Chain A
Amino acid sequence: MNNAAASQTSEVSTKAALHSSQIVKIQDLNVFAGDHHILKNINLEIPRNKITVLLGPSGCGKTTLLKCMNKLTDLYRELKVSGSIFIEKDDILNTTTNIPSIRQKMGLLSQRPYPLPVSIYRNVSYGLKLKGVRDRKLINFSVEKHLREVGLWEEVKNRLNAPATSLSIGQQQRLCLARGLAVKPSIILADEPTSALDPISSKIIENLFKDIKKHYTIILVTHVLRQAIRLADHAIFMIDGEIIEQGDPEELFKNPQTEELRAYLVDGN
């Protein structure tokens, strides 16, 4: 039975890979907090192995949209979510698949780094341990690989057992990225990941995103227009819980179709 399920999912994912360049598809997503309509009829598609930027003024629902994708909205009882979100053909809002395994398909990078209250090493191995991996060699290998992936290995290899909080805030954010990559996600959800960082650390993170997008789909929330222009392969502009415009960033930023985006571009620059 297990085998059957495994082959089925692999079949589905190869199909998805063959037939569509989209990895996430959201249909008629609505989110309410009490009477407050936070997200209104969201419909969008997110291309695979690209950086998709969610842009908009603060409070427009970008973060909520991001949290819907890995069901962190469950933490907030007052939120009512309806509609469907397909990730690799699997509608995560209406599914029986257990939530932790859905979440493991996505790595989360939040506004400021939240290292777990354990050592650097254990931060990275946390996800593997949860999956039940006990093989020390495998874990060691994974820790080194992912710390290298984010360019942190050389800086921390001699103090892997130091508490993660002893790192600088920029290093912590990279550690959080490595930690997320270690669970082998296909998507990285980044919620203004550079807003708490200094310019140099921000630059490092941005460059990392450009490097790793070969292997991962990145969904980046930002309100920094310049960052959006630098990174976006696909852009979505939101105001007040609604998608105003979406499409190719070059087009979008050069020829805004709506008054809202035009105003935002002028103010942002």
Chain B
Amino acid sequence: MQLRRKIFDKITGFWMITSLITILSLPLIIGTGLYLKAAPLFDQQSFFSLIFSSQWAPSKGEFGFWPFIAGSLYVTVLSFLFTLPVCLLAAIYLTQFSSKQLIKVMHPVIDVLAGLPSVIYGVWGILIIVPFVSKYVAPVFNTTSSGYSVLSGGIVLAVMCIPYILNMLIEIFNTVPVGLREASLSLGATRWESVKHVVIRGNFPGIISAYGLGIAKAFGETIAVMMVVGNVVKVSINPLDAAYPLPALIANNYGEMLSIPMYDAALMFAAFLLLVIILIFNMIFRYLIHKTKRQ
């Protein structure tokens, strides 16, 4: 009996610790794996020229990632511009001004929407946003656009990220004690002034983090963006032009990557780049959140 207990204890103890270590070492394993695969690329081109060159001709062995990085940045920044006012104001309304019933209904709804697969958002983008951009937005600026554009990508990404960011903001704002709001009001602040000084200022690190994590999510989003962004290799500042973000590059070309020399290394480099950028973003903003939570 005692022996059986001891054996059970040993085995399960070992099982628990190995599992935890495996999961925690995942980013390291993934990073190393991708780096090793991408390494041959560094023999041919410097890291700097890989990132900032715009020459993309895989069959000639030229890999300049700038069009893809720029495309990713552009789409992400655009989506950020859309989410910034919407999420902040909606979170404020839901937690500070609206009735309790509304937030009781909205919270689960937002939760469900945050869990909707990205391909669904992509379908919606193709059905609504792409035709909208080509039929209504482009004529306003006297140009034509197929609709598969940076703008569409930005809108779809924004709509995808809104539930995610909103969820975090609501959670953060809900931690503001009622007493603090009452204190501010009793000093003669209007409700909006209280929101400004107590809710926004007091949670500034948390708000920044929520958006930071939202940006990181947008940056790595693949399918939904790829479906509406057009996927053309070029650098353009016109939001009605097509672009080719990094994740789309990886997803679109996996089929032929083994048939062109170095192509697989290039795509793995793209994945490595995504991993590093997003991991850094996550580390910074999660750190901010963890720090504020402890206070």
Contacts and interface: CB of A to CB of B under 8 A. Distances in A.
Report which residue of A108, A165, A183, A189 has the largest number of chain B beta carbons within 10 angstroms of its beta carbon: A108
B186 to A, nearest CB: 4
Contacts of A78: 100
B99 A131 contact: no
Given A100-B188, A101-B188, A130-B189, A118 B201 contact: yes
Contact of B187 (A67, A110, A117, A183): A183
Contacts of B291: none
Given A112-B179, A116-B202, A117-B198, A72 B189 contact: no
Contacts of A118: 197, 201
B106 to A, nearest CB: 16
A176 B295 CA distance: 20
A179 B187 contact: yes
Interface string B275-294: 00000000000000000000
B178 interface: yes
B186 A72 contact: yes
Contacts of A130: 187-189, 193
Interface string B170-210: 00000001111111111111100100011001100000000
A127 interface: yes
* B contact residues, range: 20 to 34
Contacts of A131: 188
B189 A110 contact: no
A183 B202 contact: no
Contacts of B185: 72, 75, 100, 103
A230 interface: no
B184 A116 contact: yes
A117 B201 contact: yes
Contact of A77 (B100, B178, B180, B193): B100
B187 A127 contact: yes
Interface string A103-125: 11011101110101110000000
Interface string A156-189: 0000000001000000000010011001000001
Contacts of B184: 116, 126
B187 A70 contact: no
B188 A108 contact: no
A75 B198 contact: no
A117 B193 CA distance: 14
Interface in B23-71: none
A237 B178 CA distance: 27
Interface in B54-105: 99-100
A106 B188 CA distance: 9
A251 B178 CA distance: 38
Contacts of A111: 179
Contacts of A72: 182, 185-186
A100 B177 CA distance: 20
A113 to B, nearest CB: 9
A70 B197 contact: no
A153 to B, nearest CB: 20
Contacts of B99: 77
Given A67-B182, A130-B189, 10 more contacts: A100-B185, A101-B188, A108-B182, A110-B179, A111-B179, A114-B177, A116-B202, A127-B188, A131-B188, A165-B295
18 contacts: A72-B185, A72-B186, A100-B190, A103-B186, A103-B188, A108-B186, A110-B183, A114-B179, A116-B198, A117-B198, A117-B202, A126-B187, A126-B189, A130-B189, A165-B295, A179-B183, A179-B187, A180-B186
Interface of B: 99-100, 177-190, 193, 197-198, 201-202, 295
